Structure 1
Amino acid sequence: MSAVHKVDNEDLNERRRAALAKIDNAEFGWFHIRACLVAGVGFFTDAYDLFAINLVTPMLGMIYYGGTLPSDLDLGIKVAASAGTFLGQVGFGYLADRLGRKRMYGIELMIIIVATLGQSLSGHGVSLSLPASLIIWRVIVGIGIGGDYPLSAVITSEFATTNRRGAMMAAVFAMQGFGYLTTGIVALILLAAFKDSIMANPANLDYVWRILIGFGCIPACVAIYFRLTIPETPRYVLDVENNVNRAEHDVSVVLKENRNHLQSDDDSEKVLANPSIVRGSSSDFIAYFSKWQNFKVLFGTAVAWFCLDTAFYGIGLNNSFILSSINFSSVKGDDWSTCWNAAVGQTIIVLMGSLPGYWVTVFTVERLGRVRIQLLGFFMSAVLFAILGFAYNQIRNYSIALFIVLFSLTQFFQNFGPNATTFIIPGEVFPTRYRSTGHGIAAGCGKLGAIIAQVGFTQIKDKNGTNASIPQLLEIFALFMLIGLFVTFLIPETKGKTLEELSNEDDFASPTYSHNNALDEQK
C-alpha cells in the first residue's frame, strides 16, 4: 500500500498552484491537438447518430407504412435518443466526478457502437416490432451520446491552456457540424448507389437506412483506443484524488518535461495528500450550490441550454417536415426523389448555416468572449425565428430560396452562439469536484428541452392541417430564444480566467501569489 506523506500545508498549496500554472500556461502542442481530436471524433459520431434519424424516419414510412410513418412512432423514435441522452449526461456527469474522468472515458463509445449496430440490424419480431426495437436501441445509444458531453467537455477544459481553452472546447464541439453534414453526404451516396433498385421497388430503401445508421460505428471504433489510453487530468488527481506527487508526475509527462529535477517514478506512487482540499460530498454539494453566486451560474447555464435545445432539436430533427412544407423535398409518387431532395436540403442547410457557425465560434471565442457570442446568437435567432414564423407563408410563396437562406441563418446563429457556448461555459465555471456533475445537469436540462420540443412539434405541427402550424412553432422558438437571452446575464464571462478563478472559491489563492508567479518559481 502506498504511504501517505504529510508536508507543510502552505508548501503543498504552493506546489498545487505551480502544477496548475504549468497546465494553464503551457505552449500549445501535440498533446492538446490529440485531446481535441480524440474528443472531437466522439462528437462527430454523436451528431451523426442523432441527426441521421431525420432522414431515416421518412424511409421507414415509405417501406413499412406505404407512405408516412405514424406520428406516434415518428415521435417515439426521435425522442428516444434525447431521453437516453438525458440519462447519460446526468449519470456519466456524476460518475466522472465520483470515479474519475479516465475510468469512464471510452465506456460511452462502447455503448454507442453496440447500440448503433443494434439499430441497423433491427427487424420485426413476434413480440417486438421494428419501431419498438429502434426505440429501445436509440435510448441506449442516447445514453452513450449523453455520456460524451460532460466527459469530453471536462477533459478538454482541464487539459487546456487558459488562453486557448474556449477555442479547444469549441473545436471539439464543432465536430458535430461534420457529423451532421456526413449524414446528408452518406445518404446521397447510398441513394445514388441504390437508385435503380429503389425506383423498381421502394422497399429497397431498407438497405439504405440500415447502412446509413450502421456507418456511425466506424468513427467511434477509430477513437475508442485513444480514449481508453488518455491520462487522468492533473486537476482531478490534485483536487479529487488528492495526490500532489502523482499530479506533478502526470503534468511533467503530459508536457514532456525532464522529470529528474522533480521526482522519480517511485515517488509519484506515494500519496502526498493535501489537508486543505475540500472533498466532494452531498452535503458539500448542497452547501456550495446553496450560495446564490454559485447557484445562479448553474441555473443560468441550465436554462440557457434548455431554451437553446428546444429550438435546436425542434428544428434539427424535423428538417424533412419543414422542407416538405415549402414543397422542397416532397415529390408525389416518387419515393427516391423525396429522399434525395431531403438529403440535399439537409446538406445545403448544414453547409450554409451550421458548419460555418461552429467554426466562426472556434476562431472568435477567445477574442469576443463566451457571453457576448451567446447573447448575439440568442438575439439573432430570436429575430430570425420571428421573421420566419410571422411571415412564413409570404416568404414561402415569394421565394423558396429566400426561405432556405433565412432558415440557414438561424442555424448559423445558433452555432455561432448558444449551441457552442452552452457546451463550453459549464465545462469551465464549476470546481473540479463538481465540474462534470454541473456540466451534466446543464446538458441534461438541454435534453429536457429537446424532448419537450419534439413532443410539442409532433402534437402541434398538424393541428390545422398537414404541417399547417409550423409557423406557430417557429414563433414559439423565437420566444425561447428571448428567454435564453435574458438568463445569459446570470452567467459570468470565462475568457482569460483560470478554472480556479471561475469556481467562486478561494482555492488556496493568495493576494501575493499567482499562477504565473508559480510558473516563474519553477523556472
Structure 2
Amino acid sequence: MDGSTGDHAPAWCIEAACRARVATMPEQSTNDGHTTSNTTTELARHTSDLAEFELSERRAVFLLTRTELKLLGIAGVGFFLDAYDLFVINPVATMLQYRLYGGKHLPPNLEGFMKAGANIGSVIGQFAFGYAADALGRKAVYGKELMLIILATILTLTTPTGSLSPEHSLIYLAIFRILLGVGVGGDYPMSASITSDRSNLRKRGTMLAYIFSNQGWGSFMGSLITIIVLAAYKHVMEDKGEVSKVDGAWRIVVAVSLVPAFGTLYQRLTLPESTRFKASQKLINARSAAEEGDAIAEIKKAQAGDDIKFGRQTPGNSNEKLESTPSKSDEDTAPPEEVATKKAHFADFVKYFSEWRHAKLLIGTCTCWFLLDIAFYGINLNQNVVLQQIGYDGTTGTPWNRLFKISTGNMIITALGFVPGYYASILTIEKLGRKWIQIQGFLMAALFLGILAGKFHTLSKPAFIVNFAFLQFFFNFGANTTTYCYPAEVFPTRYRATAHGLSAAAGKAGAIISALAFNTLSKDIGTPAVLWIFFGCCIAGAGFTLLLPEVKARDPDLILAEEIRAERDARARQQQEEAK
C-alpha cells in the first residue's frame, strides 16, 4: 500500500493484503491480558474471498432473489415517496390557483417557498439522520424518518384553506412541507446505508440503482394519480361548475402517499441491525494487531452471513462455523450501540476526513450532487416552462381541462425520460461502472441543455419533446443515479451514513437555490440564459467526478482496515527508531 485510498488498487488486492496480514499473525496477548490465538484468522482463511466469490456467480446482477426483492420494497418506498411528494407539488400548486386565487398565478415568492419547502427540510433530515445512523446504529433510527413523513403528510392535509387567507394558507402548507422534507431527506442516508450494508460487492451498485429508480415511479404515479382523481372530479367541476371542489382533489392526491408509507412502516421498524455494521464498529476501536485481525475477519463473516440470508451461499460450508465462532475481544461482547455512540465519534469523523485522500472523496460526492441538483431540480420543479413549449401548459380551456392537460404533460415527460433512464443505469452499472456513467451522463445532459438553450424559441414541438426526453434520460442514466450510489459505496460503513447525508444535503442545497432563483432569473435574464447556467453546472460536474475512484467491486471497509494496519506499522517503526 502506498497510503492511498485505493484509487489505483482494486478491492481484491486490498482484501488479499488484509487476508495475508491476518493469516500470518502469531498468537498475541491483548492489553487486558487475554490471549488471542490465530484461530479466528485461520477460519478467515477458509472464508471465500468476497470479490472472487461474487465475481464467479453466473446469475445476472439485475435478477434479484426473494430477500433482495423484500429489501427493495422496504427501502425503495422512501424514494417512491420522495419523488411523489416533491414533484406532486407542481399539479397541487396549479389546483391551489383555482382554490385560492380564482385561477390566477400564485405569488412568485410564496410559490417558490412552497416548492422549495420540502428541499429545505431535506437538508436538515439528510444530515441529522445520516449522523444518527452512524452514531446510534441503523436499527435504532430506521423507520423514524417514515413516521415523520406520515405525520407531516397528515398535517399538510389539514391546511385550512377555507378559514385562512390565501397567503397564510400557502405559508401553512409550506411549513409542514418543510417537516415532510426532514423525513424525506432522512430516507436518503438511511436507505442507502441499509442497502449498501446488506449487498454483496457484485450487486451493490445494482441494488442501490434499483432503490433509487423508485424515484421515477414515484414521479410517474404522482401524475397518474392526479389524472385519476381529476377524472373523478370532472362531473363536479365541469358539469356543475363547482371549481372550488378542487380543494378536495389536491388533498386526495397528497393523501394517497400514505398508503405505501403505512404499508412498509412495520418492516422498517423491525428490520434487524446488519452484521456488517456491527462488525465495522470493532475495526476502528481495535487496540492491537490481533484485535484488528479479528475485526477484519468479522467483516468477512458479516458479508458471508448476509450472503446466506440473500441466497448467495448455502449454510453448509465453512462460513457456518464462522458464524458460530465467538469473538475474543472486549469490543465483540459490547453492544454495538455502545461502541457506536462513544463520545469521540464526531471527532473520529473529522479526523478521518481531515486527510486529503479521504476529504477529496467527500468534496467530490458533495460537489457533484450539488451541481447536478441545480440543473435537475431547476428543470423538474419548474416543468410549467417545458409544458408551455410542448403545448401542455393548460393556458386554454375550462379549469378542469387545464389541470388535466398539465397532469397529462407531466406524465408524458416522466414516461419518456425518467423511468427508462433509471433502468438503463440498473442494467449497465456493474459493467460500465459508476464513474463512466456519471461523466457521460453529465456531458450528455450538458449537450441537450445546450441545444434547448440555443434553440429554445425556434425548436418545433416534436423536436423540443425529443430533446427534453433525452435530457431526462441522461439525467437518470447518469449523475442523478450515480450521485446517490457513490457515497453509499465509496465510504467505509463507519462513516457511510454521515457522509451520504452530507452529500445529499449538498445536493438539496443546489435544489433549493434552483427552486428559489429559477422564476426570478427567468424573468430577469430569460429562460435560455438559465439553461446555459445549467449547462455550465453539468460540465463542472463532469470535472469534479474526476476526484472520485471507480467503486465497482471496491470494499471500503477492507481498504480502511489496510490503512489502519499501515499507519500502525509506521508508528511501530518510528517507535523502534526512537528507542534506538
Poorly superposed stretches of 4+, deviation over 3 Å: 4-7, 9-29, 124-128, 241-254, 256-271, 277-280, 501-505, 507-510
> Match for 2:235 among 196, 200, 219?
196
The equivalent of 2:574 in structure 1 is none
Q: Which one-letter code corresponds to 2:543 in the other structure?
A: F
Residue 264 of structure 1, CA deviation: 5.9
**Contact 1:80 / 1:139 at 8 angstroms: preserved in 2?**
yes
What TM-score, normalized to structure 2? 0.79
Residue 58 of structure 1, CA deviation: 1.1
Does 326-335 or 403-412 show the bigger shift?
Answer: 326-335
The equivalent of 1:213 in structure 2 is 254
Residue 507 of structure 1, CA deviation: 5.5
Residue 422 of structure 1, CA deviation: 0.2
Does 280-289 or 352-361 show the bigger shift?
Answer: 280-289
Show CA shifts across 1:256-288 (max 9, x none): 5369745669999996269xx998633332222
Q: Unmatched 5+ residue regions in structure 1?
A: 511-523
Q: Which one-letter code corresponds to 2:535 in the other structure?
A: A
Change (3 A) 1:85 1:126: same
Residue 301 of structure 1, CA deviation: 0.7
User: Using the alignment, how far apart are the partners of 2:180 and 2:152 within structure 1?
Assistant: 5
User: Using the alignment, how far apart are the partners of 1:45 and 1:14 within structure 2?
Assistant: 47
Change (3 A) 1:237 1:17: farther
Residue 70 of structure 1, CA deviation: 1.0
Change (3 A) 1:17 1:226: farther
Asked if residue 64 in structure 1 is aligned to residue 104 in structure 2, the reply is no
Does 185-194 or 120-129 show the bigger shift?
Answer: 120-129
The equivalent of 1:116 in structure 2 is 153
> Match for 2:81 among 45, 49, 64?
45
Alignment of 1:335-350 (within 5 A): 335-350=399-414
Aligned length: 498
Residue 41 of structure 1, CA deviation: 1.5
Q: Which one-letter code corresponds to 2:388 in the other structure?
A: S
% identical aligned pairs: 37
Residue 208 of structure 1, CA deviation: 1.2
Q: Unmatched 5+ residue regions in structure 2?
A: 1-31, 58-63, 284-293, 310-314, 568-580
**Contact 1:361 / 1:417 at 8 angstroms: preserved in 2?**
yes
**Contact 2:84 / 2:218 at 8 angstroms: preserved in 1?**
yes
> Match for 1:96 among 99, 122, 133?
133
Asked if residue 148 in structure 1 is aligned to residue 187 in structure 2, the reply is yes
**Partner SS state of residue 83, structure 1:** helix
**Contact 2:374 / 2:513 at 8 angstroms: preserved in 1?**
yes
**Contact 1:310 / 1:452 at 8 angstroms: preserved in 2?**
yes
**Partner SS state of residue 272, structure 1:** helix
Alignment of 1:149-298 (within 5 A): 149-199=188-238, 200-240=241-281, 252=305, 255-256=308-309, 257=315, 261-262=321-322, 272=332, 281-298=345-362
User: Using the alignment, how far apart are the partners of 1:273 and 1:16 within structure 2?
Assistant: 19
* Greater Cα radius of gyration, structure 1 or 2: 2
What TM-score, normalized to structure 1? 0.87
Change (3 A) 1:208 1:291: same
- Considering only aligned residues, what root-mean-square deviation do their CA atoms show, in Å? 3.1
**Contact 2:51 / 2:202 at 8 angstroms: preserved in 1?**
no
User: Using the alignment, how far apart are the partners of 1:240 and 1:439 within structure 2?
Assistant: 18
User: Using the alignment, how far apart are the partners of 1:18 and 1:5 within structure 2?
Assistant: 28
> Match for 1:481 among 525, 538, 550?
538
**Partner SS state of residue 129, structure 1:** helix
**Contact 2:279 / 2:302 at 8 angstroms: preserved in 1?**
no
User: Using the alignment, how far apart are the partners of 2:353 and 2:374 within structure 1?
Assistant: 25
User: Using the alignment, how far apart are the partners of 1:417 and 1:504 within structure 2?
Assistant: 31
Does 485-494 or 277-286 show the bigger shift?
Answer: 277-286
User: Using the alignment, how far apart are the partners of 1:373 and 1:502 within structure 2?
Assistant: 24
**Contact 1:166 / 1:365 at 8 angstroms: preserved in 2?**
yes
Show CA shifts across 1:179-219 (max 9, x none): 01001100110111111212212211111111011111111
The equivalent of 2:481 in structure 1 is 420
Q: Which one-letter code corresponds to 1:385 in the other structure?
A: L
**Partner SS state of residue 163, structure 1:** coil
User: Using the alignment, how far apart are the partners of 2:468 and 2:359 within structure 1?
Assistant: 35
Does 423-432 or 238-247 show the bigger shift?
Answer: 238-247
Asked if residue 313 in structure 1 is aligned to residue 377 in structure 2, the reply is yes
